[in-house]
Amino acid sequence: MELSKFIVEVRGQIRDTGSAPVFQYAIPPTDTEPGKPDEIEQFVRQAIQDYSGWKPLRGKRGRLNLLQGQDEYSLPEDFIRMEEFLRPHRISGKLVYLLQMPLLSDEVIFFYTAMHQAETIPDYDVPAVCWLAASLALKAVMSDPNRLDKYVSYNLDEVFELNTENLTEATMYLAKAADQLEKQYLARMTATNKPIMTFG
């Protein structure tokens, strides 16, 4: 699913779809000002990163253009770990060091375990990623008094039987909702998987 659709889905889950949202909508660039991404995007990206720790994208194909006399090369930004690399090598972070200096320029194809992008999340797990992103967004609301006040005043009034004048009560409600969404996500992740790495 496209990143923009994840954002729309998460906005719907946290009921931040009004004309004066708590998290600002994307602002397109103009001739004089650069554009700004949708503020919900950060939570979707964090959720995708966490999801990749549980269910990474395996078997992704990469390519390195080797240069004569150079033994150090950068790996892709989404690299997690190497699966298949035919030349003797050593990995350090996102760098690969060849143990034998190339005598000629060459091209090497390799396969690696990668971070997901929005488009590579399997349809089955799209709801889970949205649950975590929504949980992260609600936690961000709770941690910012201005956002909390704005969210409660327009988002919870007339929807829940809740004293929205009492921010403590409202915060407790949001904390419970965020916790429930995170538990749903973790239940999906732990059903058949163990994380291969930890983020954060």
Domain containing residue 8: 3-52+119-190
Among residues 95, 115, 135, which one ends one of the domains?
115
Same domain? For 126 and 186 the reply is yes
Other Cβ atoms closer than 10 A to 141: 25
pLDDT band at 165 (very low <50, low <70, confident <90, very high): low
The enclosing domain of 94 has a CATH number of: 2.60.40
45 near 57, Cβ under 8 Å? no
pLDDT in tens, 31-77: 898 999 999 999 999 999 999 999 999 999 999 999 999 999 999 99
Q: What beta strand segments (E) does 17-140 contain? A: 57-66, 72-74, 79-84, 89-92, 95-98, 106-114
Residue 11, in any domain of the structure: yes
Residue 169, in any domain of the structure: yes
Overall domain count for the chain: 2
Q: 156: which 2 tokens? A: 């919870």
Which residue from 159, 152, 191 is spatially nearest to 175, judged by alpha carbons?
152
61 near 109, Cβ under 8 Å? yes
Residue 197, in any domain of the structure: no
- pTM here? 0.86
* pLDDT reported for residue 192: 66
Residue 198, in any domain of the structure: no
